[in-house]
Structure 1
Amino acid sequence: MQNIFYGRSFLAEKDFTGAELYTLIKLAEHLKELKAQRVPHEYLKGRNIALLFEKTSTRTRSSFTIAANDLGAHAEFLGSHDIQFGKKESLSDTARVLGSMFDAIEYRGYEQQMVEALAEESQVPVWNGLTDSWHPTQMLADFMTIDEIFGHLKGIKLAYLGDARNNVANSLLVTGAMLGVDITLVAPSALQPTQAVQALAQSFATETGAELVITDDVDQGVKGAQVLYTDVWASMGEEAAWAERIALLQPYQINMTTVMKTGQADTIVLHDLPAFHDLETTMAQAVHQQFGLTEMEITQDVFQAPYAKQFQQAENRLHTIKAVMAATLGELFLPQTMVIQ
């Protein structure tokens, strides 16, 4: 029987159904176990994959590279200074050249239309490693982590605090709705998602029964949450916005008080990293010198607490990216989707 994922691109969460996303999560859990047991799983032996990066990365680049190696494929990193993309050569020309040489392309950059055009012009599977609009591979890792810890997804309440207009918040709202997870975005009114994103998420929530809430009230938003999630207050390219973001988002910091407000004994904390929880980076030191802050979106005591699962979440980037690559490019037997639990 045909693998239902084969040859498909993964440009945004809505490219797949909720059941298909859950199937990829369960496949990732299986691949994680194979790796832990050192069982070979070279489903992509002989394949060549282009890793096209316009934005820098730690987890995404490492995950795609190691996943390709584990699957028996060769990954070629193409940074913004390595090729003529957008400088001497158009997107269309670049996509057609890469599509003729590589079996698949990963893209991490800025505009969503770039990754969509790559998929259309290259005629090979294209995977979105991050754009300003969506972060689909991150979502698989996030919800895999929740599934591992709680044993299910449906009915879990996740509260995200911070900039709710960014790609992570957009993706959490939509993906949670697709998977039947209750999502609350807790953010000041100036940093809440667009009506278009809310409408898209609600269309999925109507089918799955997920409850979606968008509020600026921290007490209301985190009450009953089994998962607290946050992200940096200013994304790549937004460093000039630090003063504005700090003024708006300090009340939305995840600290011990925030955790206690959930009223749950088993609450976990997630962060897609990097995190500003200390002064061990040059950027954190610069912010400290200008604004006097030693911590930003998450405090050091929460970040180091046993219920903070950001490093398990980070590792799961590898396993979920591997699942996407294997499912869409490998000769796997995946004839049907799994029921979301």
Structure 2
Amino acid sequence: MRHLVSIKDLSDEEFKVLVDRAEHYKKVFKSGNVSECQKNHAKLIGKTVALIFSKRSTRTRISSEGAAAFFGAQPMFLGKDDIQLGVNESFHDTTKVVSSMVSCIFARVNKHSEIQELVKYSSVPIINSLCDRFHPLQSICDLLTIKQNFDLTSTKVKVAWIGDANNVINDMAIACLKMGMDVAISTPPGIEMDPEIVSAGMEVAKNNGSNLECTHDSVQAATGAHILVTDTFISMGEEYAKVAKLKQFKGFQVNAELCSHADPNFKFMHCLPRHHEEVTDDVFYSNHSIVFEEAENRLYAAMAAIDVFVINNGDFSAGPDDFLH
């Protein structure tokens, strides 16, 4: 049984399959073809998909529930106040019980160790929908968005991350390198990338003829970039450190001056929700911004994950219609 825990756990080809599958389901979903939708809706009829969420969510909840419903499954949202997990019952017991009744579990939790506990005890696939170390569904969505805005066969795309060393870039950096892109990561002085992620990224970059650069100079990272990306400077659970974090990130806002160093036709991305200290309105709402297309693509990323890990039982070689034959 395969689980989706992080992008670095996947081979290059496996990750590309997930992006291509997301693209496939986007076409199906937006085509409005009733017979195609009915065909996919039959794949998980009578099944249930659990969403164990310890953190609040907009895009992750909507996309996960929408993807489950697309395939005919009944999504069941289990918030931190809805079940006994972590209150009167252990991870082991809760996971054993929940996984015995559902076809997969989307888990949006606090610590990476909680994802590891779910994987250890679950009898069904675990889809990591965010933990403090990884966010693989966001990377599938982001790479679909990039693929649909750039010709990756003719352009050596450079992605510049301006911001924190967090779960989003841990997966996105590996994902971009797997697709043959160059990645420049700029974090404020005193904030370093996870050495294990950098090591894994360097290995992927070497194999694909790409470049991974880590710096504390945002202008250096942004220079010549085709894509500028940022994220919240204050992650959920870090609100207590807001004043200190904002001081640390001074000068790391994505604004017109920073964008002037990027490729003239650059695109701006952000996984949302955004705050003004991260990016100015004239960038966020500009023609360069593809943040709302990126947000929509979360739905198709969730569809791809369900298709590969649940419907096809982790068989990446199976096509989207193989289940029907």
Q: With the length of structure 1 as denominator, give the TM-score of the two structures.
A: 0.88
Match of 1:335 among 314, 317, 324: 317
Structure 2 equivalent of residue 214 of structure 1: 214
Q: Distance in 1 between matches of 2:189 and 2:171?
A: 18
- 1:22 maps to a residue whose letter is K
Matched, 1:308 2:289: yes
Aligned runs of 1:102-121 on 2, under 5 Å?
A: 102-121=102-121
Q: Distance in 2 between matches of 1:181 and 1:35?
A: 28
Q: Distance in 2 between matches of 1:51 and 1:336?
A: 25
Deviations 1:196-231 (A, max 9, x none): 221121122221122000111122111110000000
Is the contact between residue 312 and residue 318 of structure 2 (CA under 8 Å) also seen in structure 1?
no
Name structure 1 gaps, 5 residues minimum: 1-6, 277-294
Residue 184 to residue 275, structure 1, CA distance change in 2 (3 Å): same
Structure 1 equivalent of residue 174 of structure 2: 174
Q: Distance in 2 between matches of 1:336 and 1:214?
A: 37
Matched, 1:267 2:249: no
Structure 2 equivalent of residue 18 of structure 1: 12
Q: With the length of structure 2 as denominator, give the TM-score of the two structures.
A: 0.92
Structure 1 equivalent of residue 58 of structure 2: 58
Structure 2 equivalent of residue 288 of structure 1: none
Q: Distance in 2 between matches of 1:82 and 1:192?
A: 37
Matched, 1:160 2:161: yes
Structure 2 equivalent of residue 319 of structure 1: 300
Name structure 2 gaps, 5 residues minimum: 320-325
Is the contact between residue 8 and residue 200 of structure 2 (CA under 8 Å) also seen in structure 1?
no
Q: Distance in 2 between matches of 1:171 and 1:302?
A: 24
Aligned runs of 1:112-131 on 2, under 5 Å?
A: 112-131=112-131
Residue 119 to residue 334, structure 1, CA distance change in 2 (3 Å): closer
Aligned runs of 1:223-234 on 2, under 5 Å?
A: 223-234=223-234
Q: Distance in 1 between matches of 2:219 and 2:81?
A: 46
Q: Distance in 2 between matches of 1:216 and 1:37?
A: 44
Compute the displacement of 1:37 (Å).
Answer: 1.2
Matched, 1:34 2:28: yes
Structure 2 equivalent of residue 150 of structure 1: 150
Q: Distance in 2 between matches of 1:71 and 1:229?
A: 32
SS in 2 for 1:261: coil
Q: Distance in 2 between matches of 1:188 and 1:113?
A: 27
Compute the displacement of 1:335 (Å).
Answer: 2.4
Q: Distance in 2 between matches of 1:170 and 1:105?
A: 22
Q: Distance in 2 between matches of 1:328 and 1:196?
A: 25
Compute the displacement of 1:66 (Å).
Answer: 0.6
Q: Distance in 2 between matches of 1:219 and 1:104?
A: 43
Aligned runs of 1:196-211 on 2, under 5 Å?
A: 196-211=196-211
- 2:156 maps to a residue whose letter is G
| Cα RMSD after superposing both structures | 1.6
Structure 1 equivalent of residue 277 of structure 2: 296
- 1:175 maps to a residue whose letter is A
The answer to which structure, 1 or 2, has the higher relative contact order (CA under 8 A, 6+ apart) is: 1
- 1:335 maps to a residue whose letter is S
Is the contact between residue 176 and residue 210 of structure 1 (CA under 8 Å) also seen in structure 2?
no
Is the contact between residue 45 and residue 73 of structure 1 (CA under 8 Å) also seen in structure 2?
yes
Residue 335 to residue 170, structure 1, CA distance change in 2 (3 Å): closer
SS in 2 for 1:130: coil
SS in 1 for 2:213: strand
Is the contact between residue 44 and residue 326 of structure 1 (CA under 8 Å) also seen in structure 2?
no
Deviations 1:275-297 (A, max 9, x none): 01xxxxxxxxxxxxxxxxxx300
Structure 2 equivalent of residue 76 of structure 1: 76
Query: What percent identity do the matched residue pairs reach?
Result: 32
Is the contact between residue 14 and residue 316 of structure 2 (CA under 8 Å) also seen in structure 1?
no
Question: Paired residues, what number?
Answer: 311
Structure 2 equivalent of residue 4 of structure 1: none
Q: Distance in 2 between matches of 1:88 and 1:131?
A: 22
